[in-house]
Structure 1
């Protein structure tokens, strides 16, 4: 005896802006779960209960969907950095609080996989909006130090924190597992190191450049 086929569920009509918002949320989840290769129109459509053609109608192309996702996630990253700046301007935040906010932006916010995707695609101009946010972060931290050498040290501190947060988001879980370390091991390490950059003489001066082969 054959089972009676279930009637197709009536799909809810959604406005274009709503579809784009839901589509970007689905694309972000796919990126975090499976990497850039998982972000396809068909996969997004499946998440939304829509056809490939319908998703295509709202985004124009797979490349346009991916570009919109990059823009959305970069906006979230700059907002997260702005939040750190506002915190630093109103309160001498604990180093661990600053580390957690930056690491969360790269990890939970997805900026780590996003940055890897952008760099591997060669479209590094997509990162340009982050420039001013990073400069503002440096200025906010410099505001907590009083000596002339602070700006140079703080730039190094932000470099260390950002690159470490990026690496921790992309490959950190695997390396921590190899070394039997806790999930927050890098955050804790950065929080302990960061105050050194705010103290005069807290870190050694930069080494002079190595001489060229023709140097005497």
Structure 2
């Protein structure tokens, strides 16, 4: 197992605060000093984990978007992957923890991966701003849902999945407009 694989497992099992050089080293049978040499610091490990996580998720989402364009997947598939990336896969907790600990630069790889994803998906070059806006809305909804969606939905008397439903409706509407225009 790689250090980043171990870090991701620890993130999912115990949350971002448990992702330490010592914990990762123990998981993969290396020394703390070995990982410190490789990553430079705990912040370096967090940044590397953010890069690993973001690239993996964005690659999966890109493949699903292409399947959607071919009629082999749905807008809901894209929404679920995005929401799961921030919730079940720990991306929201990781982002919040990095911000709270002052490691804001570690978010750059996440932002850059999302930007690269949008560039890859805008193959024709004619839906740039609409794609950017759709991506912004979807990512912010998924992040917000991961951080406080459950308690907020419950306090409003709404089903837990309502934010996903709203995101799906918005994305499906946007996709329908793109198909009608092109």
TM-score range, shorter chain: 0.7 to 0.9
Match for residue 116 of structure 2 among 128, 132, 144: 132
3-state SS of paired residue (1:183):
coil
Match for residue 159 of structure 2 among 147, 157, 182: 182
Residue 190 of structure 1, CA deviation:
1.6
In structure 2, distance between residues paired with 1:114 and 1:175: 20
In structure 2, distance between residues paired with 1:101 and 1:75: 13
Match for residue 142 of structure 2 among 162, 165, 176: 165
Task: Structure 1: state its 5+ residue gaps.
Answer: 1-17, 201-216
User: Which residue in 2 is equivalent to 1:74?
Assistant: 54
Residue 34 of structure 1, CA deviation:
4.9
Match for residue 62 of structure 1 among 22, 28, 42: 42
- Confirm whether residue 109 of structure 1 aligns to residue 89 of structure 2: yes
* Higher Rg of the two aligned structures: 1
- Confirm whether residue 85 of structure 1 aligns to residue 65 of structure 2: yes
Q: Which has the higher contact order (CA 8 A, sep 6+)?
A: 2
- The structure whose residues are more often helix, as a share, is 2
- Confirm whether residue 96 of structure 1 aligns to residue 76 of structure 2: yes
- Confirm whether residue 122 of structure 1 aligns to residue 99 of structure 2: no
In structure 2, distance between residues paired with 1:57 and 1:102: 33
- The CA RMSD over aligned residues, in Å, is 3.2
User: Which residue in 2 is equivalent to 1:13?
Assistant: none
Residue 117 of structure 1, CA deviation:
4.3
Q: How many residues align?
A: 173
- Judge which range, 151-160 or 81-90, deviates more: 151-160
